[in-house]
């Protein structure tokens, strides 16, 4: 998929993954709280591991990676779209608002909404799913706010930090939503 897409919202911009996101992203992905909510490996990532992980998605024709900036053009997170399936018209959505001072301020919901709208309107997706850990209540609520519904729970799906955790399967179908808009440039 094209990696140079920009999608502008009211307070959030999904932008191409630029150099600043390599540095900021490594710090975000090594934040212990973010690790606990998004990773089954509690060990911090080395720079080479982080670069390989992101580069794999940047190079994959069925993936897209966005940097997320706020209204002041400050990098605040990373959005990923994976497993883009043009035949069945579905994909997986992942997002991390890594800048802690931007948590609980609506940036995640706006970024998810922009990604969802872009996928439905510009890539003609029929369904978008996301699979947050059950202990990531903020992400579950964000997805619900953006029209995603709980479709199931994978019980005891992952062994994380000495215990099993559930993974929530959430999805939204294009026809579930009223007409949405994404300004693509």
pLDDT band (50, 70, 90) for residue 32: confident
CA–CA separation, 82 vs 65, rounded Å?
9
DSSP code string of 128-174: EEE--BTT-HHHHHHHHHTT-EEEEEEEEEEEETTEEEEEEEEEEEG
pLDDT in tens, 145-183: 999 999 999 999 999 889 999 999 999 999 988 764 444
Domain boundaries, the chain: 7-128
Taking the CA of residue 7 as centre, how many other CA atoms within 13 Å lie in the half-sphere pointing to its CB? Answer: 24
Q: In what order do the strands lie in the sheet with 12-16?
A: 149-160, 163-173, 127-130, 90-97, 75-85, 64-70, 12-16, 7-8, 183-184
- Answer positive or negative: Cα dihedral of 28, 33, 38, 43: positive
Tell which CATH classification among 3.40.50.2000, 3.40.640.10, 3.40.630.30, 3.30.565.10 matches the domain 7-128: 3.40.630.30
The structure's pTM equals 0.90
């Amino acid at each position: 998929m094209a990696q140079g897409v920009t999608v502008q919202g009211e307070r959030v911009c999904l932008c191409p993954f630029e150099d600043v996101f390599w540095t900021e992203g490594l710090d975000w992905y090594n934040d212990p709280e973010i690790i606990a909510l998004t990773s089954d490996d509690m060990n911090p990532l080395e720079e080479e591991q982080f670069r390989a992980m992101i580069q794999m998605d940047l190079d994959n024709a069925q993936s897209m990676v966005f940097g997320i900036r706020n209204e002041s053009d400050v990098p605040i997170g990373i959005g990923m779209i994976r497993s883009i399936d043009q035949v069945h018209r579905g994909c997986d959505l992942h997002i991390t608002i890594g800048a802690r001072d931007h948590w609980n301020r609506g940036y995640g919901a706006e970024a998810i909404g922009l990604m969802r709208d872009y996928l439905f309107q510009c890539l003609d997706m029929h369904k978008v799913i996301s699979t947050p850990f059950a202990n990531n209540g903020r992400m579950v609520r964000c997805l619900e706010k953006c029209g995603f519904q709980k479709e199931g729970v994978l019980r005891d799906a992952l062994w994380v930090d000495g215990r099993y955790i559930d993974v929530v399967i959430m999805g939204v179908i294009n026809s579930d939503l009223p007409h949405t808009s994404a300004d693509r440039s």
